[in-house]
A and B are shown apart, each in its own frame.
Chain A
């Protein structure tokens, strides 16, 4: 359970996020929508502590995340993976090493400076790449990949962190429709099969509707909508998007009309335990 309590971030002149109180149960797939500049990115970055909140608190399973310092903060970032709009891969390293950086928190100083990774970590990374259909690129330099491929590598990096939460900041905003669908499908598969909470910033309404269990609407940093996709009426959406409404809807009909297959049912606890056994613990 991830909870935010009156979470606020103000820059000098304005509030980017004001008084957002949320509570997200483990394993939910949440879409955050809103026009550009509504505070979606700031909200996500505060959860991962890449941005410091100026007020309020974030709690995860009873632990106050906002108070974490030093190594505890690094541990939180390892638990709470982040996928970025611009992928943020290290272009000059190969794909496999990029994925292995997801294990950095678990490494000693010398091992990480010398880029020493164990065989089981490599195997784990290859398996993560394979899940996203990217295993064949493992030895390529990362900046030779296309945008969609880079984003899948970034998701593989997030997976080897063995996170509890995966935050995705506009993961498909710089991708073409086909790659956008591949990436969103991957995020949903991870959510359904591994039980990882996924919180995803989305620009277009349609994607949020077809992929998420729950939609959160932000307008000028204020929480204006929180509910299931069915509850999000046309009027509500117009209010969230304001002047950009027509864009959001038009785009929804064309470029990012992803539709896709209906979401799989959540796996049972037994399936999750089995998946976990196949994971790093076993290797």
Chain B
């Protein structure tokens, strides 16, 4: 599959995850979100940027439980909970946010 952004096409897998992490930029994230009828707010970006930093550090996209805990540590308990994260990313915080962040699907996510 390919994703068209501003006249350029990007290779994705069958679920829309970016094939090459280096292809990622903010426009790609916006385009992916648009396909899901999702408008990216500062709160979305906070999670997306967190995931990109996490991946740089650990070379892995975290499972949802780990993401929730880590967000809580970094951004506070009012954000490190399932309710907050599911409101931002109704398709599943780890899955959906990782996709917009240009990361592979979290390990263990089926």
Q: Bound pair: A and B? A: no
